[in-house]
Amino acid sequence: MIILFTTQPHCSTHRDLERHPEIDLRVIPYERLLRARRLPQATYIFSDLDRLHFWDLECVASIYRQLREAGARVLNNPARHRSRYQLLRHLHHQGINEFNVWQADDEPPTDRYPVFLRTDSAHRGVLTDLIYSPKSLENAIEEQVARGIPLRELIIVQFAAEPVHEGLYRKLAAYRISDRVIGAPCAHQETWVAKYGQRGIAPGELYNEEYHMVTEHTHAQALGGAFDTADIEYGRVDFGLVKGRRQVYEINTNPYFRNLKSHPFSIRLETFQCFFHNLVDALSEIDTPSQKRWHKLPDSRTWRAWLVDLRRTRRLSRWPRMP
């Protein structure tokens, strides 16, 4: 059995995998975990960490530690989770990314433009077009704050992308499942913000190239270092190629899986089938056989439930003591 923890509004990301007959994958929301007294023997994956409130992150980090000390297989240590800003800055310092990132109060060097704005949390994408000057950046920040975006959430990201074809951009992806990194389908889009992709927009040779990247795991070995540097054992890395060098844009610990049922290019259907097969195979390798054994957790009188109740009462006279 594999149990994946995620936030309640984002429990449907692994629906196709939950229904797959070859693996026993179950999704449990953190809201339920934080009130649990025991958990069945399983492999546990802590996902969606960027959407957790600080207190909840501290709570689930304690549960992670308890499960690991009990001998369970657990992936993604919540205590080692980095925000988007921390991750991108860390990847730059480690030499994995050439582009850099700054907080809204920072002033990027003039030779690092163009830049754009996005938030440190959530997955809403970019907030602005490309910005080419310090004055324009100052105006853009003020505009976002006037819209109600908290200043502490705004980050400045250096632009790092190039078209893969005339007027066409491509976002690449790979997944890590414990010790394995597998290639994943791309997203092709007419704009540099390649997020979801546009159906059938790429020429046939790019879909053929995508097929070989997925079947041969072209970038897998190199991207393992990015996952290691980020301390992430389960998730999807989104990246691009700029002047032939990989640039990591994000690592999502709760990636959305979908199986493609139709497409103008049949090779793309084969790509998705191969990817899904590799994914199921990798998950099968980390599956823990079901047994009538349970991991006991502290009862509902502990600080974990206290913090959950805080969301309703908003009354907390002092910071909870770590167990």
Residue 252 pLDDT: 94
| Secondary structure letter of residue 80 according to DSSP | G
Residue 249 pLDDT: 95
Residues of the chain with pLDDT under 70: 298-323
Q: Which residue has the tokens 């893969």?
A: 164
Residue 301 pLDDT: 46
> From residue 67, how far is each of 23, 29, 293, 303 by CA, in Å?
22, 17, 13, 17
Residue 308 pLDDT: 56
What's the gap between Cα 139 and its chain centre? 30
Residue 36 pLDDT: 84
Taking alpha carbons only, the member of 37, 34, 38, 41 closest to residue 26 is: 41
Residue 322 pLDDT: 47
The three-state secondary structure class of 9 is helix
Residue 193 pLDDT: 86
pLDDT tens digits, one per residue of 20-63: 999 999 999 998 898 888 899 999 999 999 999 888 898 899 89
Cα(218)–Cα(216) distance, rounded to whole angstroms?
5
* Domains in the chain with CATH codes: 2-81+290-313 (3.40.50), 100-158 (3.30.1490), 169-286 (3.30.470.20)
Length of the chain in residues, anyone?
Answer: 323
Residue 310 pLDDT: 54
Cα(50)–Cα(83) distance, rounded to whole angstroms?
7
